[in-house]
Each structure stands twice: as C-alpha cells, then as structure tokens.
C-alpha cells in the first residue's frame, strides 16, 4: 500500500514537471536556431538562442530589439526592429533617420568603418519605397532589418511586420557555449 502511494506521488510529480515545462515553453520562452547570415555580426548561422515570448504581452517592442517573427507559414525570421508605429524611416548615406532625426546604430559601426569608399552597406531607401508605401508606420507594426544589410531579406522586401507576426524577443545565445550571454 505504501509503495503504491509512493508511485502515485512520483507520477504526480513527473506530470506536474511536464505541465510546468510545457507551459514555460508555450507561453514564456522557447529555443530556436539562427538560420542564415542576415544578422551577422551580432548572430551567426547556427547560433542557438532563447526567445522571450512573454515580453511583448506586457510591453511594446522597442527600437533595436532583436525579434523572431513569422515571415510566412513555413518560416520564422530573426531581425532587428528599426522603426516603430507612428515613425517615418529613411536611410541616406549610411545614416538612419527617424522622423528626420539621425539615429546612431552602434551595432553596425564596425561594418561601416570597414567599407570601401563608394560602397554601400544600407542602400538609401525610405518607408514609401517598401511594400505598403506608407508615410508613417501604422499602429501595430514595426519595420525590421537584418544587421547584415547587404544580405538580408527584411522589411525592404517583405514589408512591415505586424505585432501578430512576432513570436518574441531574442534574449540570449546559449550555444555555442563560448558565445553564451545576453543579446544586445
């Protein structure tokens, strides 16, 4: 009789652990793998990262957050938020302008410093030139770009990303182990 109670306790404990783990993975965090080179040098092809699925339920996306979103039914993409609702975005001569004000993108400074004269990293464009041809980013949408601007399929081709498409915010690299840490 005592042995049966012990088995039942173990089964309950294992079921509870499984339910908690499933809940955490479904609602809070989930692992994913970076595929491709569009986020280099920040993230590398094959990096294993953790996505916080909860953060945008309690707060709005912020400029320069790195997000995972549903690009289509089969694929999730990882990109950096550049433009927020209500903003007008344009690039000219490797400078990001938000509502006409220049904004520094420190995460690509090294790339810009290494450019050959007359080469382009982020080709000039404005919000009106991307699919949707908006004058400002509508409520509930963001404009995203890859950090590797010359090799990234992003809002310039896909258009704006709706909040509904966002899976979550990339918060840390857990593999390879030497790159373990938070994502900036």
Instruction: Kindly list the catalytic residues.
Output: 38, 79
Count of C-beta atoms within a 10 Å radius of residue 13? 10
What residue has token string 């975005």?
Answer: 89
Distances (CA, A) of 183 to 22, 48, 65, 67, 172: 24, 12, 9, 11, 5
Helix, strand and coil percent figures for the chain, each rounded to 5: 30, 30, 40
> What residues does 175 pair with on adjacent strands?
48
| Of 148, 167, 174, 179, the residue nearest 71 (C-alpha) | 167
């Amino acid at each position: 009789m005592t042995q049966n109670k012990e088995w039942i306790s173990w089964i309950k404990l294992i079921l509870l652990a499984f339910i908690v783990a499933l809940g955490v993975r479904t609602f809070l965090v989930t692992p994913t793998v970076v595929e491709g080179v569009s986020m280099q040098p920040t993230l590398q092809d094959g990096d294993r990262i953790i996505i916080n699925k909860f953060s945008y339920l309690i707060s709005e996306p912020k400029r320069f957050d790195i997000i995972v979103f549903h690009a289509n039914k089969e694929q999730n993409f990882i990109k950096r938020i550049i433009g927020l609702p209500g903003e007008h975005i344009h690039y000219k001569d490797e400078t990001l302008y938000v509502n006409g004000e220049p904004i520094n993108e420190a995460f690509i400074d090294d790339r810009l410093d290494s450019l050959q004269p007359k080469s382009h990293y982020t080709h000039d464009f404005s919000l009106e030139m991307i699919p949707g041809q908006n004058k400002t980013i509508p409520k509930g949408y963001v404009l995203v770009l890859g950090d590797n601007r010359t090799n990234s399929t992003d809002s310039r081709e896909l258009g704006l990303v709706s909040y509904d498409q966002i899976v979550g915010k990339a918060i840390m690299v857990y593999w390879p182990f030497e790159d373990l840490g938070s994502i900036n």
